[in-house]
Chains A and B, each alone.
Chain A
Amino acid sequence: ETGVTQTPRHLVMGMTNKKSLKCEQHLGHNAMYWYKQSAKKPLELMFVYNFKEQTENNSVPSRFSPECPNSSHLFLHLHTLQPEDSALYLCASSQRDRGESGELFFGEGSRLTVL
Protein backbone atom coordinates (compact mmCIF):
# COMPACT_ATOMS: atom_id res chain seq x y z
CA GLU A 1 0.00 0.00 0.00
CA THR A 2 1.71 3.15 -1.24
CA GLY A 3 -0.98 5.65 -0.26
CA VAL A 4 -1.93 6.19 -3.90
CA THR A 5 -4.99 4.34 -5.19
CA GLN A 6 -5.93 3.96 -8.83
CA THR A 7 -9.15 2.67 -10.37
CA PRO A 8 -9.93 0.75 -12.43
CA ARG A 9 -6.96 -1.61 -12.41
CA HIS A 10 -7.88 -2.92 -15.84
CA LEU A 11 -9.85 -1.30 -18.65
CA VAL A 12 -10.72 -2.47 -22.14
CA MET A 13 -12.29 0.04 -24.47
CA GLY A 14 -13.10 0.54 -28.10
CA MET A 15 -11.75 3.45 -30.07
CA THR A 16 -15.03 5.33 -29.89
CA ASN A 17 -15.61 4.92 -26.15
CA LYS A 18 -15.21 7.53 -23.44
CA LYS A 19 -13.82 6.39 -20.12
CA SER A 20 -11.98 7.87 -17.16
CA LEU A 21 -9.14 6.77 -14.91
CA LYS A 22 -9.20 7.86 -11.29
CA CYS A 23 -6.39 8.44 -8.83
CA GLU A 24 -6.56 9.34 -5.15
CA GLN A 25 -3.66 10.03 -2.80
CA HIS A 26 -3.85 9.90 1.01
CA LEU A 27 -0.39 11.30 1.70
CA GLY A 28 -1.08 15.03 1.88
CA HIS A 29 1.19 15.71 -1.10
CA ASN A 30 0.87 18.84 -3.19
CA ALA A 31 1.77 17.43 -6.62
CA MET A 32 0.21 14.68 -8.71
CA TYR A 33 1.35 13.12 -11.97
CA TRP A 34 0.15 10.94 -14.82
CA TYR A 35 2.73 8.66 -16.45
CA LYS A 36 2.43 6.25 -19.35
CA GLN A 37 4.42 3.01 -19.10
CA SER A 38 4.89 0.90 -22.23
CA ALA A 39 6.88 -2.32 -22.37
CA LYS A 40 10.64 -1.82 -22.49
CA LYS A 41 10.30 1.96 -22.71
CA PRO A 42 11.09 4.67 -20.16
CA LEU A 43 8.25 6.14 -18.18
CA GLU A 44 6.65 8.97 -20.14
CA LEU A 45 5.48 11.95 -18.11
CA MET A 46 2.08 13.12 -19.39
CA PHE A 47 0.75 15.71 -16.96
CA VAL A 48 1.77 17.37 -13.70
CA TYR A 49 -0.48 19.18 -11.26
CA ASN A 50 1.02 21.31 -8.51
CA PHE A 51 -1.48 22.56 -5.92
CA LYS A 52 -4.32 21.63 -8.33
CA GLU A 53 -2.84 23.75 -11.12
CA GLN A 54 -1.57 22.03 -14.24
CA THR A 55 2.08 22.92 -14.56
CA GLU A 56 3.19 20.57 -17.30
CA ASN A 57 1.65 19.00 -20.36
CA ASN A 58 4.23 17.07 -22.30
CA SER A 59 2.75 17.30 -25.81
CA VAL A 60 0.08 14.78 -25.00
CA PRO A 61 -2.65 14.28 -27.66
CA SER A 62 -5.95 15.96 -26.86
CA ARG A 63 -7.70 12.60 -26.66
CA PHE A 64 -6.22 12.51 -23.14
CA SER A 65 -7.75 15.12 -20.86
CA PRO A 66 -6.65 15.50 -17.23
CA GLU A 67 -8.72 16.90 -14.38
CA CYS A 68 -7.61 17.75 -10.87
CA PRO A 69 -10.55 18.90 -8.73
CA ASN A 70 -8.47 19.05 -5.53
CA SER A 71 -4.98 18.16 -4.37
CA SER A 72 -6.00 14.59 -3.47
CA HIS A 73 -7.78 13.53 -6.65
CA LEU A 74 -6.68 13.26 -10.25
CA PHE A 75 -8.56 12.00 -13.28
CA LEU A 76 -7.54 11.11 -16.81
CA HIS A 77 -10.43 11.30 -19.26
CA LEU A 78 -10.04 9.15 -22.34
CA HIS A 79 -11.80 9.73 -25.65
CA THR A 80 -11.35 8.34 -29.15
CA LEU A 81 -8.18 6.48 -28.25
CA GLN A 82 -5.95 4.56 -30.63
CA PRO A 83 -4.62 1.00 -30.23
CA GLU A 84 -1.11 2.42 -29.64
CA ASP A 85 -2.46 4.07 -26.49
CA SER A 86 -2.68 0.64 -24.89
CA ALA A 87 -0.31 0.78 -21.91
CA LEU A 88 -0.08 0.94 -18.15
CA TYR A 89 -1.09 4.38 -16.86
CA LEU A 90 0.54 5.24 -13.56
CA CYS A 91 -0.50 7.97 -11.18
CA ALA A 92 2.02 9.34 -8.71
CA SER A 93 2.22 11.99 -6.03
CA SER A 94 5.03 13.85 -4.32
CA GLN A 95 5.74 16.78 -2.05
CA ARG A 96 6.99 19.49 -4.32
CA ASP A 97 8.72 22.47 -2.74
CA ARG A 98 10.12 25.48 -4.56
CA GLY A 99 9.89 23.65 -7.88
CA GLU A 100 11.85 20.70 -6.53
CA SER A 101 10.07 17.38 -6.32
CA GLY A 102 10.77 14.72 -3.75
CA GLU A 103 10.45 11.00 -4.27
CA LEU A 104 7.42 9.81 -6.14
CA PHE A 105 4.78 7.54 -4.64
CA PHE A 106 3.08 5.53 -7.36
CA GLY A 107 -0.27 3.85 -7.61
CA GLU A 108 -0.43 0.32 -8.99
CA GLY A 109 -1.57 1.58 -12.36
CA SER A 110 -4.49 1.14 -14.71
CA ARG A 111 -3.82 -1.36 -17.49
CA LEU A 112 -5.55 0.02 -20.58
CA THR A 113 -6.27 -1.99 -23.71
CA VAL A 114 -7.71 -0.21 -26.74
CA LEU A 115 -9.35 -2.46 -29.30
Chain B
Amino acid sequence: GQNIDQPTEMTATEGAIVQINCTYQTSGFNGLFWYQQHAGEAPTFLSYNVLDGLEEKGRFSSFLSRSKGYSYLLLKELQMKDSASYLCAVKDSNYQLIWGAGTKLIIKP
Protein backbone atom coordinates (compact mmCIF):
# COMPACT_ATOMS: atom_id res chain seq x y z
CA GLY B 1 0.00 0.00 0.00
CA GLN B 2 0.96 3.64 -0.25
CA ASN B 3 1.92 5.52 2.87
CA ILE B 4 3.12 8.92 4.00
CA ASP B 5 4.47 9.32 7.54
CA GLN B 6 5.00 12.58 9.38
CA PRO B 7 4.99 13.42 13.09
CA THR B 8 1.60 14.25 14.54
CA GLU B 9 2.71 17.26 16.54
CA MET B 10 5.83 19.31 17.19
CA THR B 11 6.61 22.22 19.48
CA ALA B 12 9.24 24.88 18.91
CA THR B 13 10.23 28.26 20.28
CA GLU B 14 9.78 31.61 18.57
CA GLY B 15 12.96 32.60 16.75
CA ALA B 16 14.29 29.04 16.60
CA ILE B 17 14.55 26.53 13.72
CA VAL B 18 12.36 23.46 13.28
CA GLN B 19 12.54 20.55 10.84
CA ILE B 20 9.42 18.59 9.94
CA ASN B 21 10.16 15.20 8.41
CA CYS B 22 8.13 13.24 5.90
CA THR B 23 8.84 9.70 4.72
CA TYR B 24 6.93 8.01 1.95
CA GLN B 25 6.35 4.67 0.26
CA THR B 26 4.44 5.12 -2.96
CA SER B 27 4.01 3.39 -6.30
CA GLY B 28 6.19 5.70 -8.33
CA PHE B 29 7.12 9.30 -7.68
CA ASN B 30 6.30 12.45 -9.60
CA GLY B 31 6.98 15.10 -7.01
CA LEU B 32 6.42 16.03 -3.38
CA PHE B 33 4.40 18.96 -2.05
CA TRP B 34 4.28 20.76 1.27
CA TYR B 35 1.18 22.72 2.24
CA GLN B 36 0.48 24.90 5.26
CA GLN B 37 -2.93 24.96 6.89
CA HIS B 38 -3.86 27.37 9.66
CA ALA B 39 -6.74 26.30 11.87
CA GLY B 40 -10.06 26.93 10.14
CA GLU B 41 -8.41 27.99 6.89
CA ALA B 42 -7.58 26.54 3.48
CA PRO B 43 -4.36 24.60 2.93
CA THR B 44 -1.94 26.79 0.97
CA PHE B 45 0.96 25.67 -1.20
CA LEU B 46 4.46 26.06 0.26
CA SER B 47 6.84 24.07 -1.91
CA TYR B 48 7.31 21.44 -4.59
CA ASN B 49 10.31 19.13 -4.97
CA VAL B 50 10.80 16.72 -7.83
CA LEU B 51 14.61 16.49 -7.91
CA ASP B 52 16.93 15.66 -5.03
CA GLY B 53 18.25 18.54 -3.04
CA LEU B 54 17.23 21.64 -1.18
CA GLU B 55 14.77 24.26 -2.38
CA GLU B 56 14.90 27.51 -0.45
CA LYS B 57 12.14 30.07 -0.32
CA GLY B 58 12.67 32.77 2.25
CA ARG B 59 12.48 31.38 5.78
CA PHE B 60 11.20 28.04 4.47
CA SER B 61 13.26 25.33 2.77
CA SER B 62 12.28 21.88 1.55
CA PHE B 63 14.63 18.96 1.00
CA LEU B 64 14.12 15.76 -0.99
CA SER B 65 15.97 12.46 -1.19
CA ARG B 66 14.21 10.15 -3.64
CA SER B 67 16.49 7.20 -2.91
CA LYS B 68 15.56 7.37 0.78
CA GLY B 69 11.88 8.23 0.26
CA TYR B 70 12.42 11.22 2.53
CA SER B 71 11.73 14.92 2.66
CA TYR B 72 11.85 17.62 5.27
CA LEU B 73 10.50 21.12 5.62
CA LEU B 74 12.83 23.49 7.44
CA LEU B 75 11.42 26.62 9.03
CA LYS B 76 13.88 29.25 10.24
CA GLU B 77 13.43 32.30 12.49
CA LEU B 78 10.10 30.95 13.68
CA GLN B 79 7.27 33.39 14.18
CA MET B 80 4.04 32.90 16.10
CA LYS B 81 2.14 32.98 12.80
CA ASP B 82 3.96 29.80 11.75
CA SER B 83 1.74 27.87 14.18
CA ALA B 84 -0.22 25.69 11.75
CA SER B 85 -0.48 22.19 10.37
CA TYR B 86 1.99 21.20 7.67
CA LEU B 87 0.83 18.64 5.12
CA CYS B 88 3.17 16.48 3.05
CA ALA B 89 1.83 14.97 -0.19
CA VAL B 90 3.44 12.82 -2.88
CA LYS B 91 2.35 12.53 -6.48
CA ASP B 92 2.52 8.85 -7.48
CA SER B 93 3.06 7.24 -10.89
CA ASN B 94 -0.58 7.97 -11.85
CA TYR B 95 -0.19 11.61 -10.77
CA GLN B 96 -2.49 10.93 -7.83
CA LEU B 97 -1.70 12.85 -4.65
CA ILE B 98 -1.07 10.70 -1.58
CA TRP B 99 -1.38 12.74 1.60
CA GLY B 100 0.14 12.49 5.04
CA ALA B 101 -2.03 13.18 8.09
CA GLY B 102 -0.23 16.47 8.74
CA THR B 103 2.06 17.79 11.47
CA LYS B 104 0.64 20.30 13.91
CA LEU B 105 3.36 22.81 14.76
CA ILE B 106 2.98 24.77 17.99
CA ILE B 107 5.18 27.83 18.45
CA LYS B 108 5.79 29.04 22.00
CA PRO B 109 7.05 32.52 22.93
Q: Which A residue sits closest to B101, measured CB to CB? A: A42
Instruction: Give the A interface residue count (CB, 8 A).
Output: 18
- Which residues of chain A come closer than 8 Å to B44, judged between CB atoms? 2, 106
Those of A86-108 within 8 Å (CB) of chain B:
90, 99-101, 103-108
Flag if B100 contacts A42 (CB, 8 Å): yes
How many residues in B have their beta carbons less than 8 Å from beta carbons of A? 24
Q: A41 contacts which chain B residues (CB < 8 A)?
A: 101
Task: Assess the A42–B4 pair: CB atoms within 8 A.
Answer: yes
User: Residues of A at under 8 Å CB distance from B?
Assistant: 2, 4, 40-43, 45, 90, 99-101, 103-109
B35-54 vs A, CB cutoff 8 Å, 1 = contact: the mask equals 10000111111001000000
Most buried by B among A41, A105, A106, A108: A106
Is the CB of B33 closer than 8 A to any CB of chain A? yes
